[in-house]
Structure 1
Amino acid sequence: MTKVAAIIGGGVIGGGWAARFALMGWEVRVFDPDPEAERKINEVMANAARVLPMLYEAPMPKHGTITFVGTLADAVAGADWIQESVPERLDIKHKVIADIQAACPDDAVLASSTSGFKPSELQQGAKHAGQIMVAHPFNPVYLLPLIELVPSVASDDSIVARAKDILTEIGMYPLHVRAEIDAHIADRFLEAVWREALWLVKDGIATTEEIDNAIRYGFGLRWAQMGLFETYRVAGGEAGMRHFMAQFGPCLSWPWTKLMDVPEFTDDLVDLIADQSDAQSGAVGIRDLERLRDNNLVAILRALKQQDAAAGKLIRDHDDSLRGPLGEEVPLVTVRRVVPVDWTDMNGHMNEGRYGQLFSDASEELMTHIGADRAYVEAGNSYFTAETTIKYLAETHAGEEIYVTTRVVIGQGKKLKLWHQMHRSSDDTVLATCDQFLLHVSLDTRRSCPPLPQVADALERLAARHAEAGE
């Protein structure tokens, strides 16, 4: 069944929402009277389509289409999810919400991207207050998983529950904010840091670049994977958080911060900040900065994914949910994926070691196909690679969509021989081949042994089918 998301407001945030839904297989309708909206969203979509698939080993869902419609009513008719991302003025939002509810299904999720308004404020005068909630994202929406999901006491619990399910389905993390509060949760932290940073620049203590360096080279990297409280728990050493609180708690009364005293937002301060920011980054175009940001986020998130930690665990779990069983065709298509940025070397093409990883992933998919899955390995049995011969036939670059076909050449007893071919999806060109020989082993003795009967039988049947197809 086709799922439809309506995006009302196609700016930076709305465009990110559109890309996230479309890349997760949803049909997307966009309404924005801005004549440049289609160009802007198409540019965002191009960025998102390049990088989001790099987070996944599993094949992505078939892309949904983004359709730009002429009226708000056309956008929301029959929609399952409606995301309002219009300017932060309550009168505008009330008018847009009224127009939405005049044309949308009563059971649709109606979510606002607002960072400044509480859901009860959005619900004032609404025809159906129960379907309205805040779903506050973080830019870029197509990569960062956090969504602050904020209902009010008037929100319909069943619609809120469905909103959480949908957000999880498209690979995001719905942080259910249990009580309404100005600026929700995350932006309150950001506002505190922002205020302190303004004072440090205004007082000549640090430049914009120095402040950014303090974040990105220090605690920002810790926060990216441990958050605030877990970071401080580790800082407490073996004694933990209690020791940290005892050691550093008294500093809360020291006159360090000016968080309760906001600097006057004068033209001079704006000029000072803007000039320093221009000096820091003005020579680099915005699209180049976005591309650098996205590449960095992919690399960080993939590193976290490899460790099954923090946001990386979310991606790993979602990646696993996208996997389906292999088909019965010969040869088997064992891998479909996009080459991520962290697989490339100084020459700009895929590092030769990653070819080995890719073919290893193909072998693991085949092993799972015959029953030698994770549970089988945890029980003390596996296949170990004894020999491989890889031939590199053409360059492969980050962002290219590829697939691997696998044929069973030998599948008898403890021996497994596979023939892999890596193809470019756009034209089916063979980019590399791998002749791989594996032996079944006992993980207890670390010696070769026959596979368990169910795996041996499945492998022999598969090998026979592949042999017949190859004749």
Structure 2
Amino acid sequence: MTQSAAIIGGGVIGGGWAARFALMGWDVRVFDPDPEAERKIAEVMANAARVLPMLYEAPMPVRGAITYVGTVAEAVAGADWIQESVPERLDIKHKVIAEIQAACPEGAVLASSTSGFKPSELQQGAARPGQIMVAHPFNPVYLLPLIELVPSAVSDATTLARAKDILIGLGMFPLHVRAEIDAHIADRFLEAVWREALWLVKDGIATTEEIDNAIRYGFGLRWAQMGLFETYRVAGGEAGMRHFMAQFGPCLQWPWTKLTDVPEFTDDLVDLIAGQSDAQSGALGIRDLERLRDNNLVAILRALKQQGAAAGKLILEHDATLRGPLGDGVPLVTVRRVVPVDWTDVNGHMNEGRYGQLFSDASEELMTHVGADRDYIAAGNSYFTAETSVKYLSETHAGEDITVTTRVMLGEGKKLRLWHEMCRAADDTVLATCDQFLLHVSLDTRRSCPPLPHVAEAVERLAAAHSEVDT
């Protein structure tokens, strides 16, 4: 049964929530009085639909529907998850939460995207305070996995546990903030950095672009995969964090920063920063900047995924949950996926080496299907590719949905021959083919040998079934 989410407030954050839920198979109802809300969310959805599937090797769930409704009550009726993303004014949030609770199921998760308010503040005067919690995301919600999940002392433990499970099912990382505090965890940290950046610009030390360069060419790359404390532990060398603290702790007493002071937000300061920002990025429109950001995030996240590290490990594990059995089709559909941005070359199309990776992925899926899986390999048995012949028939570009179908052309003893066809999902155009010959080997002797009986039987059964179909 399809689950449903209600999005109350369809701005940048609400639109990102809608896209994440819909792309993960949820039906979504949106309420936003803005007459432009449907257009704006459609543009966010277009961005999300292009890039989120690039993070996965597995096929995405069937996309849920996004429906726009005229009232809060229509949006929340029967919803499993309700995400409030209205402006950061407590009086508005209280009014909206009252409308939500008058019409929503008592068992629904009612979460707020607030970046600053504590859940106990949101719960003031509520009909069911225990239903309410903070689920603070980061933009773009459809790519960045972190959600600061903040309950209060009266938040319902069962609802909180359900919220965690739902977020994990969406491919996100719920960071349980165990104590209420203004601005939670991440935004307090970001505010400190932002305040110091404002002083650096105001005092003429650096421009907006120079500050951004300091982050993106330096410590930002470390933070993306190690965070703050692990980065500093490495900086301590073999002696670790204790040495780092002893070496650099005293500098905390030095007047390096102005983190306890706030520069006055004068018109001159606003004009200075806005002018520098326009000079830095004004040549690109907002959609261009979003596309650049999303492409960069996909490439970074996929690199971390390949290493099984940080946010990449999260995607790797979620990817595995999206995979299903191959079934008994002829041919077998062994790959369903979207071509990611980091697979293209200077000509703008998919690099020929990636075709080999796709066909390798297809053969690995078939291996798992016949029982030659990770356990089989760990026990000392596997198939090695002896020969391939790839034909490139048409260009393939980033963002295209593609499938690979596989037929077992030969399955006798230690010999296995596979025929793969890579097709564009939109029109079934054959983009490339691969004739692959493999030999079963013992990983102990590194020599060819017959497969174990259960694998041999499965391969022979497939070869017989596939030989009955015309090529």
Normalising to structure 1: TM-score of the pair?
Answer: 0.99
- Per-residue CA deviations over 1:31-74 (Å, capped at 9, x if unaligned) read 00000000000000000000000000000000000000011100
In structure 2, what is the equivalent of residue 286 of structure 1? 286
The yes-or-no answer on 1:58 pairing with 2:58 is yes
Alignment-derived partner of residue 124 in structure 1: 124
1:83 counterpart residue number: 83
- Which residue pairs with 1:175 in the alignment? 175
Deviations 1:165-199 (A, max 9, x none): 00000100000000000100000110010001011
Question: Is 1:317 aligned to residue 317 of structure 2?
Answer: yes
What amino acid is the match of 1:274? A
Measure the CA separation in 2 of the matches of 1:432 and 1:130. 56
Aligned equivalents of 2:403 and 2:414: distance in 1?
27
Which residue is equivalent to 1:139? 139
**AA of the residue aligned to 1:161:** A
Distance 2:251 2:132 in 1: 42
Which amino acid is the alignment partner of residue 301 of structure 1?
L
Once residues 70 and 369 of structure 2 are traced to their aligned partners in structure 1, the CA distance between those partners, rounded to angstroms, is: 48
Listed one character per residue, the Cα deviations across residues 268-316 of structure 1 (whole Å, up to 9, x for unaligned) are 1111111110110011111000000000000000000000000000000
* Alpha-carbon distance between aligned partners in 2 of 1:238 and 1:330, rounded to the nearest angstrom: 57
Tell whether 2:54 aligns with 1:47.
no
What's the C-alpha RMSD, in Å, of the aligned pairs? 0.8
| Residue 246 of structure 1, CA deviation | 1.1
Q: Secondary structure at the match of 1:395?
A: coil
Post-superposition offset of 1:361: 0.2
SS of the counterpart of 2:406?
strand
For 1:193 and 1:449, locate their aligned partners in 2 and report how far apart those are by CA, in whole Å: 61
Matched with 2:164 is: 164
Mapped partners of 1:252, 1:106: distance in 2: 49
Question: After TM superposition, where is structure 1 displaced by more than 4 Å over at least 4 residues in a row?
Answer: none
Quote the residue 2:462 is aligned against. Answer: 462
In the TM superposition, what is the alpha-carbon distance from 1:130 to its structure 2 partner?
0.6
Aligned twin of 2:188: 188
Give the superposition deviation at 1:451. 1.3
**Superposed displacement of residue 379, structure 1:** 2.0
Shift of 1:87: 0.3
| Residue in structure 2 matched with residue 332 of structure 1 by the alignment | 332
**Matched residue type, 1:76:** V
1:362 equivalent in structure 2: 362
Matches within 5 A, 1:121-270: 121-270=121-270
2:271 is paired with a residue whose SS is helix
* Letter of the structure 2 residue corresponding to residue 89 of structure 1: R
Question: Aligned equivalents of 1:160 and 1:315: distance in 2?
Answer: 22
CA distance in 2, matches of 1:414, 1:251: 66
The CA deviation string for residues 78-120 of structure 1, in whole angstroms up to 9 with x for no partner, is 0000000000000000000000000000110000000010000
Q: Does 1:401 align with 2:393?
A: no
For 1:237 and 1:443, locate their aligned partners in 2 and report how far apart those are by CA, in whole Å. 38
Secondary structure of the equivalent of 1:102?
A: helix
Query: Partners in 2 of 1:447 and 1:244 — Cα distance?
Result: 51
Q: Distance in 2 between matches of 1:207 and 1:442?
A: 62
Distance 2:65 2:30 in 1: 11
The SS at the match of 1:375 is: helix
Instruction: Give secondary structure in 2 for the equivalent of 1:179.
Output: coil
The alignment partner of 1:105 has SS state of coil
Question: Cα distance, 1:376 vs. partner?
Answer: 1.3
Structure 1 residues 377-388: aligned runs within 5 Å: 377-388=377-388
Q: Deviations over 1:128-170 (max 9, x none)?
A: 0011000000000000000000000010000000000000001
Q: TM-score, normalised by structure 2?
A: 0.99
Residue 428 in 1 paired to residue 428 in 2? yes
Amino acid at match of 1:367: M
Whole-angstrom distance in 2 between the partners of 1:281 and 1:375: 51
